[in-house]
Amino acid sequence: MSLLQDAKNWVRSRSIHVAYVDVGSCNGCDIEILACLAPRYDIEQYGIYVHNNPREADILLVVGAMTPPWVERLPALWAKIPAPKAAIAIGNCPVSGCVYNRRETYILGPVAKYIPIAAEVPGCPPRPTEILSAVLAVAPTVFRDYEVNRS
Amino acid sequence: MAIYQEKDLRELKYHILTSARHDRAVRDLAGMLGMGVQPFRRILIERLDMQYLENLAGRYEQWEARGDREDPLDRALGRELFTSYLPMVEPSGMEQIRAEARASVEAGTPPSEAAARARGRLAEVLRP
Amino acid sequence: MKRVVDVSIPLGPVHPCWKEPARVKCETRGEKVLSAEVELGYMKKGIERIMRGRPWQEVMFLAERVCGICSVIHNMVFIEGMEAVSGITVPDRAAYLRVVMNELDRIQSHLLANFSYCYTIEHETLAMYLLNTRERAMDCMERIAGVRVNKAYMIPGGVRFDLRDTDRALLLADLAHLEDSVHRYGRMFDTGPLIATRSKGVGILMQEQARIARAVGPTARASGIAEDVRLTHPTYRKLAFTPIVRTEGDNHARIMLRFDEIFQSLGLIRQCLHDLPAGPIRGGGTCGAGETVSRGEAPRGELSYFIRSDEYGRILDIAIRTPSIPNIDACTHHMLPGVTSLADVTSVFVSADPCIACNER
Q: Band of the pLDDT at A15, cuts 50, 70, 90? A: confident
How much is the mean pLDDT over chain C? 87
Q: Band of the pLDDT at C107, cuts 50, 70, 90? A: very high
Chain B residues whose CB is inside 8 A of the C329 CB are 51-52, 54-55, 58-59
When scoring A26, A98, A100 by the number of chain C Cβ atoms within 10 A, the one with the most, hence best to mutate, is A26
| Inter-chain touch B50–C10, beta carbons under 8 Å | no
B60 interface with C at CB cutoff 8 Å: no
Residue C7: inside a domain: no
What CATH number corresponds to the domain at position B35?
1.10.3070
Q: Give the whole-angstrom CA distance, residue A28 versus residue C104.
A: 16
Residue B15: inside a domain: yes
Count of alpha carbons within 13 angstroms of residue B118, beta-carbon side? 28
Whether residue C110 is predicted with pLDDT greater than 90 in this model: the reply is yes
Min Cα separation B5/chain A (Å): 8
Whether residue C253 is predicted with pLDDT greater than 80 in this model: the reply is yes
Chain segment C178-196, per-residue pLDDT in tens: 999 999 999 988 888 888 8
CB A101 within 8 A of CB A107: yes
Q: Tell me how many helices (H) and strands (E) chain B has.
A: 9, 0
Q: Band of the pLDDT at B91, cuts 50, 70, 90? A: confident
Chain segment C204-243, per-residue pLDDT in tens: 888 888 888 888 989 999 988 888 888 888 888 888 888 8
CATH topology of domain A15-142: Rossmann fold (3.40.50)
Min Cα separation B75/chain A (Å): 39
Q: Band of the pLDDT at B1, cuts 50, 70, 90? A: very low
State the helix-helix crossing angle for A128-143 and A3-13, rounded to 10 degrees.
Answer: 170
Residues C293-300 have a mean pLDDT of: 90
Q: What pLDDT was estimated at residue C2?
A: 52
The H or E element containing residue C292 is: strand C290-298
**Cα angle: B33, vertex B35, B37; to 5 degrees:** 115
For chain C, what is the domain count? 1
When scoring A72, A74, A107 by the number of chain B Cβ atoms within 10 A, the one with the most, hence best to mutate, is A72
**Cα angle: A54, vertex A57, A59; to 5 degrees:** 110
Q: Could you say which residues from 13 to 52 on chain B have a Cβ atom under 8 Å away from some Cβ of chain C? A: 15-16, 19-21, 49-52
For chain B, what is the domain count? 1
| Inter-chain touch B58–C317, beta carbons under 8 Å | no
Residue C1: inside a domain: no
Chain B residues whose CB is inside 8 A of the A72 CB are 4
CB C29 within 8 A of CB C10: no
Chain segment A70-121, per-residue pLDDT in tens: 888 889 889 989 888 899 999 898 998 888 888 888 888 789 899 999 899 9
Query: Least CB-CB distance to A100: which of C45, C128, C131?
Result: C45
Query: Least CB-CB distance to B51: which of C10, C306, C332?
Result: C332
Bridge partners (DSSP) of residue C307 are: C292, C318
Q: What pLDDT was estimated at residue B92?
A: 85
Residues A13-38 have a mean pLDDT of: 87
Chain segment C18-75, per-residue pLDDT in tens: 778 888 888 888 888 888 888 888 888 888 889 988 898 889 888 988 888 888 999 9
Min Cα separation A76/chain B (Å): 8
| Inter-chain touch B84–C212, beta carbons under 8 Å | yes
Residue B90: inside a domain: yes
| Inter-chain touch C42–A69, beta carbons under 8 Å | yes
| A125: preceding bond cis by omega (within 30 degrees) | yes
Q: What pLDDT was estimated at residue C24?
A: 85
Q: What pLDDT was estimated at residue C175?
A: 92
Query: Least CB-CB distance to B55: which of C1, C48, C329?
Result: C329
Subunits with at least 3 CB pairs below 8 A relative to chain C?
A: A, B
Q: Band of the pLDDT at B5, cuts 50, 70, 90? A: low
What CATH number corresponds to the domain at position C356?
1.10.645.10
Interface size, chain A vs chain B, as Cβ–Cβ contacts under 8 Å: 9
Residue C8: inside a domain: no
Q: Give the whole-angstrom CA distance, residue A25 versus residue C44.
A: 9
Chain C residues whose CB is inside 8 A of the A38 CB are 128, 131-132, 134-135
Domain encompassing residue C327: 45-360
Residue C33: inside a domain: no
Residue C36: inside a domain: no
Interface size, chain B vs chain C, as Cβ–Cβ contacts under 8 Å: 71
Chain segment B106-119, per-residue pLDDT in tens: 887 787 887 888 88
Residues B70-83 have a mean pLDDT of: 78
Whether residue B2 is predicted with pLDDT greater than 60 in this model: the reply is no
**DSSP at C200:** T
Q: What pLDDT was estimated at residue A69?
A: 86
Q: Is the ipTM of this complex over 0.90?
A: no
List residues of A whose CB lies inside 8 A of any B CB: 68-69, 72-73, 76, 106
Domain encompassing residue B30: 10-126
How much is the mean pLDDT over chain B? 82
Min Cα separation B87/chain A (Å): 27
Subunits with at least 3 CB pairs below 8 A relative to chain A?
A: B, C
Whether residue C292 is predicted with pLDDT greater than 70 in this model: the reply is yes
Subunits with at least 3 CB pairs below 8 A relative to chain B?
A: A, C
